[in-house]
Structure 1
Amino acid sequence: MTGSPIRLVVLGLSLSSSWGNGHATTYRALLRAFAARGHSILFLERDVPWYAAHRDLPEPDFSELALYRDLTDLARFRERIAAADAVIVGSYVPEGVAVGERVRAWTRNLCAFYDIDTPVTLAKLAHGDHAYLSPDLIRAYDLYLSFTGGPTLDLIERRYGSPAARPLYCSVDPDAYPVLVRDKRWDLTYLGTYSADRQPTLERLLIEPARRAPHLRFAVAGPQYPHDIDWPENVERIDHVAPAGHPDFYSASRYTLNVTRADMIRAGYSPSVRLFEAASCGTPILTDRWDGLETVLVPGVEILPADSADDVLDVLDGRSEADRLRVAGAARARVLAEHSAAHRAGELEAHLREAQGRPGTRVAAPGIAGTMAHATASLRGMVS
């Protein structure tokens, strides 16, 4: 770490519950590694019944976690927000625009937005949907951290006036996602909450191969799938796998499938956390195609793109075990080198320090000020 410890407040969708969302696992990996760098964290989460019923991390050991009932109740934390060196508001926070406006009014220090759903956010903005972010807030936030890199960052700055848009992809904690020796229960799996725009790809790359290959075994794990989906008999349905069970799930899979949301395919440069988790567990990945994939994992070497059921079955039936292990090993090495939570936490720290040193950013707090030249140089090295 360079500079003094940072007092960080994060207002995010969820830290306590991974049920039906990918935000919790992202925050857990990132913030645990951020705390390991010597920083302190307060995570503020809206208390909603669907997460209250499925809390699998009610007392994190790396961050203080507090729940608030509504906007009025959020005011209990006004002094903590005002005293923080940096405040981050996340995407999909309930009443996120009102939350962001209050945070901007309460703090004179660095205020950032962390978009874990960037292409979806931009699609909403294009249709005038300001559920959790507005054009005015984009200009007001000192820093826009984005799950999507590439040309989208220029668009956020040019069209919406962000002072600085920077990539902050998801990541994985290798200690939480180790390689486990397990019998292979399935030939191909998919782990993800139901999404209407992902379902056609899931049909093409998993359900259709399952229909055509009754000798193979498949699994789809995740909540909210409609009851009228015609699942082949050789596809096992699992309603939910908590993060603690992900390594076992991946390790019991010969291959796993990555399916990307339509908005993220259009934007490109939007890797899913499932890519990094599966790779860390040593499970090779088949994926749909999107621009920027090669900047994350090398197609054909570290990850296997598939366009059709034929492509999937060629891999499942045609690849040798030695080839399977080579792909898995190459992906794991790349993820540990470039996409670990520790690496991403270093990027976050550098982004915060670089933003605080930018002219026009609000008054710097002691915890972030100083050593800006070193932090900026570190940032350039991380994202080059």
Structure 2
Amino acid sequence: MKLRFFGSSLVSSYWNGAATYYRGLLKALAAHGVDVAFYEPDAYQRQQYRDIDDPPWARVVVYPATEDGWRRALDEAAADADLLVKASGVGVFDQALEIAVPQAARPGTCIAWWDVDAPATLEAIGADPAHHLRAAVPRYDIVFTYGGGAPVVDAYTALGARACVPIYNAVDPDTHHPVAPREDWRCDLGFLGNRLPDREARVEEFFLGAAARLPQRSFLLGGAGWDDKPMPGNVQRLGHVGSGDHNAFFCSSRATLNINRASMARTGFSPPTRIFEAAGAGACLITDRWDGIAEFLEPGHEILLADDGAAVETLLDGLDDTRARMIGDAARARVLAAHTYAHRARQVLDRLGDGGRTCGVAA
């Protein structure tokens, strides 16, 4: 099967939280013999902040971030695709591509819309009766999502999706695994995430607020966009942390904090990439509470839950190295047993297979 995939970037995680999701899933699909070509625009300095070289399991096509650039790329991709995918959040000419992809596909090609930010997408559609995806979604053969559970499936079905299948984040054990800590990154609590409008207030509550009230503890902040944000003196900011340093980041703190963006916290059932990456590295995870977490990790045993910044403080007070290690080890065992990208790739192929009936593609 020839898979031609339009996404933000496969080779750079710079302002691109979906990078490791793409890498893990497409690498696992390639292991099943899928011929993968990934099309990404030359935008947002991502090519200047590459984390990896072009991988051996995918052909990476970087096209100019212009109208002529995406049109030429789409013509090339559609010419031989068995499965043609447009992911959300490419970053440039998204609307044009989302409308054009179903029109460009050859007869017999399966066309998939892959939403890596379904809660936010669905909120935007709900607020705009003229949103272009209302007309575009029914033209795709299948909708895959980064997650979302029944609320997202129901919402896409109501929009006219022929099928909607959540494919959750997971871990690639070859990429995310325990490593030696970095002494200069040692801390009580680390948080890794870019500064985004619908995340910032929650970071202030769960992370910065806790740091301000715990001056005797140390905090580590990784991610782009935080340079001019006022910080308590016990917070060390690192700026952008490339994916090659993620393991060291997770393994250098006693606990790692996950903070969902507001839309994901409201919708639930969308565990972000960081959950599985950190668990794969054996980190002790603390997360803001959201519906569905128990489907992935067991609260109190494999992950700790916090309702607010005060709860984060309480959890840190009750956490020593031994308990943190036990929680991290349990989380790692769970994700390796049930939540690897090999598991997710099998879901995709089983859904596309179905005797070749779903999309006319034999997986």
* TM surpasses 0.5: yes
Which shifted more, 209-218 or 26-35? 209-218
Please give the secondary structure, in 2, of the residue aligned with 1:237. strand
Please give the secondary structure, in 2, of the residue aligned with 1:197. helix
Deviation at 1:349, TM superposition (A): 1.6
Contact 1:149 1:166 (C-alpha < 8 Å) held by counterparts: no
- Matching of residues 369-384 of structure 1 within 5 Å: 369=362
1:28 aligned to 2:29? Answer: no
Cα pair distance change 1:350/1:111, threshold 3 Å:
same
Deviation at 1:226, TM superposition (A): 5.7
CA distance in 2, matches of 1:330, 1:356: 38
Residue-by-residue CA offset, 1:66-97 (whole Å, 9 max, x unaligned)? 12223323343424423211111100122223
Unmatched segments (≥5 aa) in structure 2:
none
Contact 1:142 1:355 (C-alpha < 8 Å) held by counterparts: no
Aligned to 2:308: 308
- Matching of residues 94-133 of structure 1 within 5 Å: 94-107=92-105, 108=107, 109-128=109-128
User: What is the letter of the counterpart of residue 87 of structure 2?
Assistant: G
- Matching of residues 218-297 of structure 1 within 5 Å: 218-225=219-226, 227=228, 229-297=229-297
Residue-by-residue CA offset, 1:191-242 (whole Å, 9 max, x unaligned)? 0000232222222222222222222110111111261x32111100111110
Cα pair distance change 1:235/1:106, threshold 3 Å:
same
Q: Where does structure 1 differ by over 3 angstroms across 4 or more consecutive aligned residues?
A: 74-77
CA distance in 1, matches of 2:147, 2:19: 18
Aligned to 1:66: 61
Which shifted more, 322-331 or 147-156? 147-156
1:325 aligned to 2:318? Answer: no
1:8 aligned to 2:3? Answer: yes
Tell me how many residue pairs correspond in the alignment. Answer: 356
CA distance in 1, matches of 2:208, 2:156: 40
1:86 aligned to 2:83? Answer: yes
Residue-by-residue CA offset, 1:85-138 (whole Å, 9 max, x unaligned)? 11111001222232133322222210101111001101111222888x611111
Which shifted more, 215-224 or 153-162? 153-162
Contact 2:355 2:362 (C-alpha < 8 Å) held by counterparts: no
User: What is the letter of the counterpart of residue 88 of structure 2?
Assistant: S
Cα pair distance change 1:244/1:24, threshold 3 Å:
same
CA distance in 2, matches of 1:246, 1:355: 40
Cα pair distance change 1:110/1:356, threshold 3 Å:
farther
Residue-by-residue CA offset, 1:146-190 (whole Å, 9 max, x unaligned)? 123322234234320100000111222111111113257011000
Contact 1:18 1:56 (C-alpha < 8 Å) held by counterparts: yes
CA distance in 2, matches of 1:189, 1:80: 41
Which of 51, 76, 93 pairs up with 2:46?
51
* Identity rate, percent: 35
- Matching of residues 185-204 of structure 1 within 5 Å: 185-204=186-205
Deviation at 1:50, TM superposition (A): 2.5
Which shifted more, 109-118 or 88-97? 88-97
**Superposed CA RMSD:** 2.0
Cα pair distance change 1:21/1:75, threshold 3 Å:
closer
Which shifted more, 205-214 or 249-258? 205-214
Q: What TM-score comes out, normalization by structure 2 length?
A: 0.92
Cα pair distance change 1:21/1:79, threshold 3 Å:
closer
Please give the secondary structure, in 1, of the residue aligned with 2:45. helix
User: What is the letter of the counterpart of residue 171 of structure 1?
Assistant: A
Deviation at 1:58, TM superposition (A): 4.3
CA distance in 2, matches of 1:46, 1:148: 24
Please give the secondary structure, in 2, of the residue aligned with 1:128. coil
Q: What TM-score comes out, normalization by structure 1 length?
A: 0.87
